[in-house]
Structure 1
Amino acid sequence: MAERIIPVDIVGPIALDLTMNTGSIRVVVDPTLKQARMVLTTEATSGPSADAIRDTAVSLNGQNLRVRVPDVAGGIGGSTTIRVGGNTMTFSGGNGVQIVGGNVYVSGHSGGKVFINGREVTATGPAGDAVTPITAEIHLPSKSVLMVGTHTADTVIRGTLARLEYDGTSGALTAEHIGDLDATVTSGSVIVGDVTGSLDVNLTSGNLNVGAYSGHDARLNLTSGNVRMAATAQAYGRLAVSATSGCARITGASHLNVRRRVTSGYVQIS
């Protein structure tokens, strides 16, 4: 396993700006934590993924931490991901894969290779360095802010985050408690337990589910996307919904200042 600990030599909440296009992002916000911690890992001890961890750019300016994980050489880019029952299949850089009579045929620009658990399988057995997923494990103190830019990485956030800015393509975001949420989602999925501050979402062919919204200003812009949200009695202020070939179902919002604009979409607010 390759591992790199990202030093965070300051005490208290931070603003973490993370770009990581693939892999897995795991965030825990801990109210007892005094100092942020971050570590990047991958199963391979050498090869493209280990090189990407080594070449990750890190800068710390006051309470602002900027981390840029480079795309893995030979990794996934311009990909299509299919999710079924918690499992994923990703296709990229083709030509393609055929399954005929129980046999698997792989063709591609680099000749076609098969990897199992990060190891290349050849006619003589496992060999070579493979592209293995990179995982970012992050622990943040309370009142921290997080900015995430990704293509297909799955992001999970535990605890209460003061603010989240999320820009994802074909990725999945799951979060428990968010203060302010600003999200741009393309063909991805966002599931949030509750939002207590402002909510600003641009959704294209994706899905947004907010279990409880108790904030003061919400703007939802949908293009071929789907939104489900439940407002609470504590919510107040404006709720603006714009839908183009999208579908939004929002409950508990009759007491809000509702503004809607619908073009070939469906918006239900009650």
Structure 2
Amino acid sequence: MTKRTIPVDAFGPIALDLTMHTGTIHLAVDPALKQARVELTTDAESGPSADAIRDTDVSLTGQNLTVRVPDTAGATAGHTTVSFNGNTMTFSGGNGVRINGGNIYVSGHGRGKVFVNGREVTADGPAGHAVTPITLTAHLPTGSVALVSTHSAMTVVTGELARLDFDATSASLTAERIGDLDATITSGKVLVSDVTGSLAANLTSGYLAVGAYSGHDARLNLTSGQARMAATSKSSGRMAVGVTSGQAYITGAAHLNVRRRSTSGYVQVS
């Protein structure tokens, strides 16, 4: 196993700016914590993932912490993503991928490799160069905010995060409680138990579910996606819902100023 712990030389809430293309991201907000820290782990002791952990760039300016985890499998370099029925296929680099009769052929410069969930399964791939999943855990004091940019990492938020900006492709977000949420998703999934502030969500072939919305301004834009949200009696202000070939189901919003727009889609507000 390779593990790296990054102490943060700042007390109190921080603003985390994180870029991590694949793996698992855990943002853990702890009311008892006075000083943030970041931990990166992977099962391998050597190879691309271990190198990525060692090469992760970290900088701190005041209360602003920037973390850049190198991409271990070229997830975003010159890629083309095809989406259908909520599923995605991404092609990048080399000569590409060919599917014939259920068989998958990979061709490219310097021989192709096959990865499943971040792990190399190429028949003749050297074991020492396998890409093992990376897990990043950020322990954050109460009041912290985060900007997360990812390709396909699974992101989990525990505790209450003051604000989250989430930009992802084919990724998932599961969160307990967020103040302000701004999410841009392509073929991904967002599941949030509680949003207490403003909500802005832009989904393309994605899925959004908010268990309890008690904020003051909500803007939902869906293209071939689906959203389900339950507004509480504490919510107020405006709610704008725009749907193109998607579906939105909003409950508990009768007391809000609701504006809806639908193009070949369906919007239900009650």
Q: In the alignment, what sits opposite 1:222?
A: 222
Deviation at 1:97, TM superposition (A): 7.1
Q: In the alignment, what sits opposite 1:95?
A: 97
Q: In the alignment, what sits opposite 1:58?
A: 58
Give the Cα–Cα distance (whole angstroms) in 1 for the partners of residues 105 and 187 of structure 2.
26
Q: In the alignment, what sits opposite 1:131?
A: 131
TM-score normalised by length of structure 1: 0.86
Deviation at 1:28, TM superposition (A): 1.0
Q: In the alignment, what sits opposite 1:108?
A: 107
Aligned length: 260
Overall identity of the aligned pairs, in %: 63
Give the Cα–Cα distance (whole angstroms) in 2 for the partners of residues 150 and 238 of structure 1.
30
Structure 1 gaps of 5+ residues are 83-87
Q: Deviations over 1:209-254 (max 9, x none)?
A: 0000011111111111110000001111111111111210000000
Q: Deviations over 1:39-91 (max 9, x none)?
A: 1111222222122222211110111101111211x444437699xxxxx9976
Q: In the alignment, what sits opposite 1:265?
A: 265
Runs of 4+ in 1 over 6 A off after TM superposition: 79-82, 88-91, 97-100, 114-117
Q: Is the 8 A contact 2:58 2:68 kept in 1?
A: yes
1:1-150 alignment runs, 5 A limit: 1-72=1-72, 74-77=73-76, 78=79, 92-93=91-92, 94-95=96-97, 107-109=106-108, 110-112=110-112, 118=119, 127-150=127-150
Q: In the alignment, what sits opposite 1:85?
A: none
Give the Cα–Cα distance (whole angstroms) in 2 for the partners of residues 119 and 246 of structure 1.
36
Deviation at 1:96, TM superposition (A): 5.3
Give the Cα–Cα distance (whole angstroms) in 2 for the partners of residues 212 and 16 of structure 1.
25
Give the Cα–Cα distance (whole angstroms) in 2 for the partners of residues 174 and 8 of structure 1.
25
Structure 2 gaps of 5+ residues are none
Distance 1:6 1:97, change over 3 A: farther
1:239 paired to 2:253 = no
Larger displacement relative to structure 2 (113-122 or 143-152): 113-122
Deviation at 1:105, TM superposition (A): 7.3
Q: Is the 8 A contact 2:106 2:114 kept in 1?
A: no
TM-score normalised by length of structure 2: 0.86
Give the Cα–Cα distance (whole angstroms) in 1 for the partners of residues 114 and 222 of structure 2.
39
Give the Cα–Cα distance (whole angstroms) in 2 for the partners of residues 239 and 58 of structure 1.
38
Q: Which amino acid aligns with 1:257?
A: N
Q: In the alignment, what sits opposite 1:196?
A: 196
